[in-house]
Amino acid sequence: MADYYDLLGVSRDADPETLKRSYRRLARQYHPDVNKDPGAEDKFKEIGQAYEVLSDPQTRARYDQFGEAGLGGGGMPDMGDMGGFADLFETFFSGFGGAQQGGGGQRRRGPRQGDDLRLDLTISFQEAVFGIEKEVQIRHLETCTTCKGSGAKAGSGPTTCSTCSGQGQVRRATRTPFGSFTQVAPCPTCEGSGQVIADPCNACGGQGLQQVRKKLRINIPAGVDSGTRLRVANEGNAGQRGGPAGDLYVFLTVQSHPSLRRDGINIHAEVTINYLQAILGDTIEVDTVDGPAPLEIPAGIEDEELLSVPGRLDAVVRVRADSHAWLTREERDLSYDLPLSITEATLGATVDAPLPTGGSVSLKIPAGTASGKKMRIAGKGMPAFNGRPAGDLFVVVQIVPPRDPSEMTKSLLREIAGQIENPRARIAHLRG
């Protein structure tokens, strides 16, 4: 068969809309009810097959990579969009009787393929990740056991249809969006079989089929997602008059998980740690698809960092450091306010400045240090992490008055007050 892109007359990078437009135009042109040229029907089928493959991103990718060989024989993937061709066909050619199976092959009398059926199935997040075998109950049509599918009462048989004289077809004129056509349609009396059942089977009313409840075990592979369709071959409705059975399509819906979510093949958990855990590092417990697992938080981790949980599938953890009571952070630098007494600030002192990572450093305060002075302690901010250097720690001096001063303290301070310069002298001068 020719290259699918050539068949549809599009380039290899055509977007889905272009594909669909081109397919619709060609399908109208070559539809066997419209185009009577020899070969039109074959061409129509080829276009349909090409579109079926290229309209599904999965099969298109396989075709791009491996050509027709990548499609596995008939080019019918077990998973994926099987609806594209049939849907379009119905939309465009619903005026043409008996066109539902495409290509016109079903207009012939004789065996008729059973319908495909849909089953909606909801599974849990874990089941989707690990795969599971599920037992489901379905209802479908099976070949009638009483008449073995013939539709006739035991001892009787079908007789020739009088409407079509056994031809199975009638001619009729049909108006369509593309003009008026005389077309051959299946006989409405015998539905194209050319035969009618004079004495129908009581069990199935002459249909040769009966509704049956059936339990099925469905194997759901690991890694499915909402929207995945699984095909269970031959579990649709049975065919009539010996025709093949349709298939059962299982449409999956995957329930969400309270703390995990899917991102392609990865699974994300979101955990929140506090500031100190981000600075110091910690080992915490996180949910994974197979239970809680320890997660090591490295010291100095960045906000929104992704961490893998080793040995636990592809679980990934998002870490978000929350706010801290007295530390503020800018990039990898940390800062906090360092309270000083009036005397320490005035006379100078050596004080212990606590470090966020624990412990403290000795900090020399020069005499005459004013509130707001920023002092740098190099390398004591966020610890080095993942090739990024450690940040610095900044302490901002705040001079605080003595709390609850005694009478003696007050008296001493009053004495000092007369001795020291008015700190507002300079701004008084500027005001004139």
Contacts with Zn ion by CB under 5 A lie at 144, 146-147, 161, 163-164, 187, 189-190, 201, 203-204
Q: Which is nearer to Zn ion, 144 or 390 (CB)?
A: 144
Nearer to Zn ion, 82 or 238 (CB): 238
- Can you tell me which residue has the tokens 């320490």? 344
**123: which 2 tokens?**
């599974």
- The least CB distance from residue 203 to Zn ion, in Å, is 4
Distance of closest approach, residue 267 Cβ to Zn ion, in angstroms: 51
Cβ at position 199, least distance to Zn ion in Å: 11
Minimal distance, residue 110 CB to Zn ion, in Å: 13
How far apart are CB 293 and Zn ion at their closest, in Å?
Answer: 59
Cβ proximity to Zn ion, 165 vs 371, nearer residue? 165
Which amino acid is located at 332 in the chain?
Answer: R
* C-beta of 170 vs 276, nearer to Zn ion: 170
Closest CA to 46 of 94, 106, 5, 11: 5
Q: 8-16 long-range CB contacts below 8 Å, 24 or more apart?
A: 8/47, 8/50, 8/51, 8/54, 12/64, 16/55
In the bound state with Zn ion, the residue whose beta carbon lies nearer, of 8 and 238, is 238
Instruction: Output 152 or 345, the one with its CB closest to Zn ion.
Output: 152
Report the amino acid identity of residue 229.
Answer: R
CB of 249 to Zn ion, least distance (A): 27
Residue closer to Zn ion by CB (options 22, 143) is: 143
Number of Cβ within a 10 Å radius of residue 89:
19
Q: Rounded CA gap, 123 and 293, in Å?
A: 24
Please report how close the Cβ of residue 61 comes to Zn ion at its closest, in angstroms: 46
Nearer to Zn ion, 164 or 220 (CB): 164
Residue 311 pairs in a beta bridge with: none
Q: How far is the CB of 112 from Zn ion (least distance, A)?
A: 14
Cβ nearer to Zn ion, comparing 50 with 238: 238
On the CB side of 192, CA atoms within 13 Å amount to 17
Calculate the alpha carbon distances from 181 to 27, 31, 107 in Å: 17, 12, 16
As to burial, measured by CB atoms within 10 angstroms (0-12 exposed, 13-18 middle, 19+ buried), residue 399 is middle
Helix, strand or coil, per DSSP, at residue 332: coil
Give the residue with the Cβ less far from Zn ion, 59 or 210. Answer: 210
Name the minimum Å distance from CB 189 to Zn ion: 4
Nearer to Zn ion, 201 or 340 (CB): 201
What pairs with residue 376 in β-bridges? 394
Rounded CA-CA distance 231/79 in Å is 7
Q: From the CB of 207, what's the least distance to Zn ion, in Å? A: 7
Least separation in angstroms between residue 198's CB and Zn ion is: 13
- Categorise residue 29: left if φ over 0, alpha if ψ from -120 to 50, beta otherwise: alpha
C-beta atoms surrounding 150 within 10 Å: 22
Those residues whose C-beta lies under 8 Å from the C-beta of residue 148, and which sit 6 or more positions away, are none
Q: Which long-range contacts (CB under 8 A, 24 or more apart) does 356-363 make?
A: 356/275, 356/276, 356/279, 356/280, 356/327, 356/380, 356/393, 357/279, 357/280, 357/299, 357/383, 358/280, 363/338, 363/395
